[in-house]
Amino acid sequence: HVTVYFDDIPYDVPMGMSVLEAARLVHIEIPSLCYLKDINEIGTCRVCVVEIQGIRALQPSCVYPVRDGLKIKTNTKKVRDARKAAVTLLLSNHHRECLTCIRNLNCELQNVADQLGVRNIPYTGEMQDYGYFSDNVFITRDYNKCINCRRCMAICNKIQECDVYSPLWRGLETVIAPAFKKDLSEVSCITCGQCVIACPTASLSEKECIRDVWKVLNDPTKHVIAQTAPSIQVTIGEDFNMPVGTFVRGKLVTALRRLGFNKVFATDVTADLTIMEEASELKERVTEHPERLPLLSSCCPAWVKFAEHFYPDLLPNLSTCKSPHEMCGAMTKTWYAQKYGIDPSTIVNVAIMPCTAKKYEAARPEMTSDGFRNVDYVLTTRELSRMIRSVGIDFDDLEDSKYDKPFDQFSSAGTIFGATGGVLEAAVRTAYYFMTGDEMGVPDYEDARGQKGLKYGNVAFGDRTLTIAIAHGAGNAKKALTRHLNGEKTFDYMEVMACPGGCVGGGGQPILGGKDQKRISLDYRHNRADALYNIDKGSKIRKSYENPVMQEIYDEFLGKPLSETAKKYLHTSYVK
């Protein structure tokens, strides 16, 4: 530890920290914009400047290290004026459409401007037009709201290792964009949306489809189904000011009914179905097709796209299972339609997902069943929050209600899908039974849990032990695959989630830093994941094959896992 003085008050802080981190540790608020801990520590926006005793020029606190005896002034007139000038300059070339902006009231720039008391912008001259791009189904880019903080670039390059963005041109012309300002669908973007989460303003956001969803909800000839991803039940509350990780399953279902959905289904059910198929696939590969090991999970569409771009030779190793939300779509337009006598052409399946990549996945040409699109629209968690707010529903005050039959019962193995390691843990619980004929006594598989970027373990299935690997964050997948391919650390089965933390950290989840800077440094993925594991702990049905709905679906429609019918509706293929 070292002793530093913030505004003459001594504090003991760990050595090696930046002044900004130290200040946040002791609850002194220094505003920042370009800073992202460990990822983007570049000191360019000048919003976090402080006075350091003995140095004439103000210093950006995010890159200035603490040392013993350091005396820092965080709140002098000079500091306040400099911060205000930096933000005023940013605003002078920013499309200030706050009232109609998708990030209104959840924008870091707006927040900082308010905090610093910016009330007029004297420098406004002619505004540049940097362009607006929305030619794909997942992410829009509005360069008139970009502040060149480079946070998108940092997360995409360093965490996702997709290298999509770089600074183009110089000076006032600069934009942070894909090469030649191409559309994200034309470059190596995997559609994960991590850049959207990292963006402090509305320069990057999800492509909304709220209007289309309202249209079908208002059409009485349509049978409109909502399906909710496992993670939504522990994240959407944050958009209504609840603490991170608050469990709101019952309110979520009620809100969707109030919005006018005819049925509300849990994607957790078809997560169980995915496990039935994927665990059978694992067993088949281990016993009959060892040449197709390792088995690689396929429920994360951003990871699938990553594999298609960067590891085309490994595509035969991907599980052929469609992801749970696609399976839900397929089952609603076939089995459910037949069972309940509903014309499948009138069914609209709207998936509520924490994810921008699900929008891309739903639009893939192969994701159809009997000529119908499996999933018609994908709303992110944030979009659903906006719909709920727009009709004046007091979310906090809603009573609980239950999902609709027949997609209402699920194992908590389906639920933990939403956290890194959850898919693999769920699969192990069922694969163990399929491979050995025995029940796993304690289904907890601790090696799969936690926020470590890469996790390894061994599982004994009778006399066969399999090495498993779990990666979250696309860059970690790259690491694991590199080690595997050069023989340094091989595995038989791997789960990959492209987003850090898995779906709880998805690109469509509530953005915390815009409303309240203090929430930026929260370990929110961890809290959200914990909430899912708590559900699992308290659940009676913890293995997918114990879910009674599985019995129903296989008896009435699919026959058995990997049957011809199952392959037709629940499995897919990939493109190099």
Query: For the purposes of burial, counting CB atoms within 10 Å of the CB of 540, is it exposed (0-12), middle (13-18) or buried (19 or more)?
Result: exposed
Question: Closer to ligand HC1 at the Cβ: 502 or 561?
Answer: 502
Q: Considering CB distances under 5 to 8 angstroms, the limit depending on partner class, which of ligand SF4, ligand HC1, none binds residue 455?
A: none
Beta carbon of residue 413, minimum distance to ligand SF4 (angstroms, whole number): 28
Question: Which of 48, 146, 152, 503 is labelled catalytic?
Answer: 503
Question: Closer to ligand HC1 at the Cβ: 489 or 526?
Answer: 526
- By CB under 6 A, tell whether 510 contacts ligand HC1: no
Is 281 an active-site residue?
Answer: yes
- By CB under 6 A, tell whether 355 contacts ligand HC1: yes
Closest CA to 177 of 167, 169, 187: 167
- By CB under 6 A, tell whether 189 contacts ligand SF4: yes
Q: What's the CA angle centered on 518, arms 516 and 519, to 5 degrees? A: 75
The pairing of strands 204-206 and 139-142 is antiparallel
- By CB under 6 A, tell whether 146 contacts ligand SF4: no
Among 49, 82, 112, 299, binds ligand HC1 (CB under 6 A): 299
Tokens of 92: 């002078």
Question: Which of 322, 358, 359, 543 is labelled catalytic?
Answer: 358
- By CB under 6 A, tell whether 156 contacts ligand SF4: yes
Q: How many residues does the chain have?
A: 576
- The DSSP string of 173-228 is G-EEESGGG--GGGTT-----HHHHH-SSSSEEE---HHHHHHHHT-TT-EEEEEE
Residue whose entry in the numeric block shows the structure tokens 């779990």: 470
Question: Closer to ligand SF4 at the Cβ: 164 or 327?
Answer: 164
Tokens of 78: 């000079």
Question: Which of 206, 238, 281, 425 is labelled catalytic?
Answer: 281
| Gap between the Cα atoms of 149 and 198, Å rounded | 10
Tokens of 290: 């060892």
- By CB under 6 A, tell whether 380 contacts ligand SF4: no
Beta carbon of residue 98, minimum distance to ligand HC1 (angstroms, whole number): 30
Among 31, 354, 421, 507, binds ligand HC1 (CB under 6 A): 354
Question: Closer to ligand SF4 at the Cβ: 195 or 459?
Answer: 195
Among 140, 191, 274, 369, binds ligand SF4 (CB under 6 A): 191
Is 319 an active-site residue?
Answer: yes
Q: Considering CB distances under 5 to 8 angstroms, the limit depending on partner class, which of ligand HC1, ligand SF4, none binds residue 543?
A: none
Residue whose entry in the numeric block shows the structure tokens 């060892």: 290
Contact 291, 424 (CB under 8 A): no
Residue whose entry in the numeric block shows the structure tokens 């796209």: 305
Is 361 an active-site residue?
Answer: yes
| Gap between the Cα atoms of 368 and 569, Å rounded | 8
Contact 427, 420 (CB under 8 A): no
Backbone angles phi, psi at 418, to 5 degrees: -70, -10
Is 439 an active-site residue?
Answer: no
- By CB under 6 A, tell whether 305 contacts ligand HC1: no
Q: Considering CB distances under 5 to 8 angstroms, the limit depending on partner class, which of ligand SF4, ligand HC1, none binds residue 417?
A: ligand HC1
| Gap between the Cα atoms of 444 and 426, Å rounded | 9
| Positions marked catalytic | 278, 281, 299, 319, 358, 361, 366, 503
Contacts with ligand SF4 by CB under 6 A lie at 139, 155-156, 160, 162, 164, 184, 189-195
Residue ranges binding ligand HC1 (CB under 6 A): 229-231, 267, 271, 299-300, 323-325, 353-355, 358, 417-418, 502-503, 506
